[in-house]
Amino acid sequence: MIDARTAHADGVERLLESFRALGPTDSVRLAKSTSNLFRSRASSPSPGLDTSGLTSVISVDPDARTADVAGMCTYEELVSATLSFGLAPLVVPQLKTITLGGAVTGLGIESTSFRRGLPHESVLEMDILTGTGEIVTASPHANADLFRSFPNSYGTLGYAVRLRIELEPVEPFVALTHVRFHTVAELVAAMDRIVETGRHEGSRVDYLDGVVFSADESYLCLGTQTASAGPTSDYTGQHIYYRSIRHDDGAETDRLTIHDYLWRWDADWFWCSQAFGAQHPALRRLWPRRYRRSSFYWKLMRLERRFDIGDRLEKLKGRPPRERVVQDVEVPVERCAEFLDWFLDAVPIEPIWLCPLRVRDGRDWPLYPLQPGRTYVNVGFWSTVPVGQGEGETNRMIERKVTELAGHKSLYSDAFYSREEFDDLYGGDAYRAVKSRYDPDSRLLDLYAKAVQRR
């Protein structure tokens, strides 16, 4: 039987062979069946690189609390491997099919981010396939410019084929407290205090996120690891996690296994499964459990976009087409209530997800610069609105507001910045310097072209 390291080496060789098989003018892209990007992408006639051997956990070192992981390994598989040692990645993005390489090059976030930062901050070193067709090892001490610029480069500086990451010990269960607030200002103030102290009413907080349902109904979801056994909830069946959060006043408690906590949002793609009828009680009873997951809803959404089903239905009802507003933005905590008040008044989308974060140290990440020591709040909103007068009218309005409040926007979805705005927000000079060194012939797409122009 081939061991994991040998299998990985074979996978890297197949990747390199597929790169060498490309013509000199062929664009370089990965061949993969899944994606968590929401940008419209132009099709490419070039064959994708063979990543079939880069989907596994290579090794877990429980003593060093590290794991070596192939770049296309999903967090679902990674978490399965690490939990058997009582360990977990420092940040586990919410959806099972997000890959480790994708979360690092495209950013990721979750409810540990207020104490553990973003996924790329727990990377110790990476092997990266660059635009020259070479495998380069990047770390804080070797090829440090590539290491620092890789996060938020979205595959335009190369593809991670192996990543060594830190792990942390976890307990078998998570005790949850859902605290209701009647104004977003109160919620944001409480969130800020918890980030600063790591505690709420004297109790330790290990996990922190929140949901805004309306201007007068919002919640913080506080999680604490525990080894104490007891009854646990299950939100992969008839019960729906985000609905369990809601109550009239005060605080309510819940309890999940650590596995189910990490994937609590996946079974209903937060609340987006409602668009496919998966939350209707009668249909949900018939919906196979194996299809209650984000990867299946993503396939349904791709079919909807391919055939314009949503817009066709709107036309039959005598209504205009709809603009997709699927975004995550980071806003400084001191401006978060202002942003939420504006958003609730200007954009007809609810619920809204909140997740606070702080970068772990003073290290420079030039393509997504966040100030050390400053708390930001990730605000996630994923829906559609009626189209306006121009292309992307609501998205453009949100971009302007986020920039006004000294925030940043993730680039996994549609973006409408000018080149000058984009360079200012996403480290244009630093990006071009690294691009010229590791992809001098521009075999990989330019970041601005990929994030903004390819619509």
CATH of the domain at 133: 3.30.465.10
Domain annotation covers residue 354: no
Residue 138: the pLDDT is 98
Residue 454: the pLDDT is 65
Domain annotation covers residue 412: no
In whole angstroms, how far apart are CA 154 and each of 73, 301, 365, 450?
Answer: 16, 22, 14, 8
Residue 51: the pLDDT is 93
Residue 24: the pLDDT is 83
Domain annotation covers residue 51: yes
Domain annotation covers residue 297: no
**β-bridge partners, 224:** 175
Residue 113 CB partners (closer than 8 Å, separation 6+): 91, 355, 356, 357, 358, 378
3-state secondary structure 272-283: HHHHHCCCCHHH
**Residue 77: its H or E element:** helix 75-83
Residues 177-191 pLDDT 10s: 999 999 999 999 999
Structure token pair of residue 195: 């980030």
Residue 279: the pLDDT is 94
Comparing CA positions, the residue from 216, 264, 220 lying closest to residue 242 is 264
Residue 311: the pLDDT is 72
Domain annotation covers residue 164: yes
Please give the average per-residue pLDDT across 156-184, as a whole number: 98
Q: At 7, which amino acid appears? A: A
Dist CA 158 CA 133 (whole Å): 9
Please give the average per-residue pLDDT across 66-85, as a whole number: 98
| Residue 404: pLDDT band with limits 50, 70, 90 | very high
122 phi, psi to nearest 5 deg: -100, 10
Residue 47: the pLDDT is 74
Average pLDDT over the chain, rounded to an integer: 93
Residue 46: the pLDDT is 66
Q: Which domain holds residue 81?
A: 4-170
Domain annotation covers residue 359: no
DSSP symbol at 121: G
Which range among 35-39, 104-108, 121-125, 421-425 shows the weakest confidence by mean pLDDT? 35-39
Domain annotation covers residue 345: no
Q: Say if residue 249's pLDDT is above 60.
A: yes
Beta strands 376-386; 408-409: pairing state: unpaired
Number of domains in the chain: 1
| Residue 37: pLDDT band with limits 50, 70, 90 | low
CA atoms within 13 A on the CB side of 198: 7
In whole angstroms, how far apart are CA 150 and each of 125, 147, 238, 366?
Answer: 11, 5, 41, 9
Domain annotation covers residue 84: yes
Q: Is the dihedral of CA 233, 238, 242, 248 positive or negative?
A: negative
Comparing CA positions, the residue from 448, 450, 413 lying closest to residue 28 is 450
Residue 396: the pLDDT is 97
